[in-house]
Amino acid sequence: MREGEECKCNIAERRNTVVCTFDPITPKVTAYDIQEWIHDILWNPEKAVNMMQIDGLKQQVHIKLAYTQGVNAVLRDMCGQAEYGYSNEEMSTVIIAMAVM
């Protein structure tokens, strides 16, 4: 990188990405359970998932989608939240938002 140039790597990393924040007072969710939840709740072909990153400390999952339209559709369809059902039948609210840097 030349002097005076700005690094744009963070912008590219968060493009087409939503963040799902699980309730911090509920039990931790496994990667497998998160993958199943994404498939059951968020999945359809135009919202193709390219990558998923779990931040266990923050109880967040970053989901990188193939297209901006997929991000917009998730945010529109889910109205910013979804339900997660635990194996013990407990339910919790998951906040869904566009990921920011």
Superfamily of domain 11-98: RRM (RNA recognition motif) domain (3.30.70.330)
pLDDT, position 74: 85
pLDDT, position 37: 87
pLDDT, position 47: 63
Summarised one tens digit per residue, pLDDT across range 46-55 is: 568 888 899 9
Residue ranges per structural domain of the chain: 11-98
Closest CA relative to residue 21, chosen from 75, 97, 78:
97
Q: Edge-to-edge strand order for the sheet containing 91-98?
A: 49-55, 60-65, 17-21, 91-98, 81-85
The answer, yes or no, to whether residue 81 has pLDDT greater than 90, is: yes
CB-based contact 59:21 (threshold 8 Å): yes
b/e code 25-60 from CB counts within 10 Å (16+ = b) = eeeebeeeebeebbeebbeeeebebeeeebeeeebb
pLDDT, position 73: 85
| Position 6 confidence tier, pLDDT thresholds 50, 70, 90 | very low
Mean per-residue pLDDT of the chain: 81
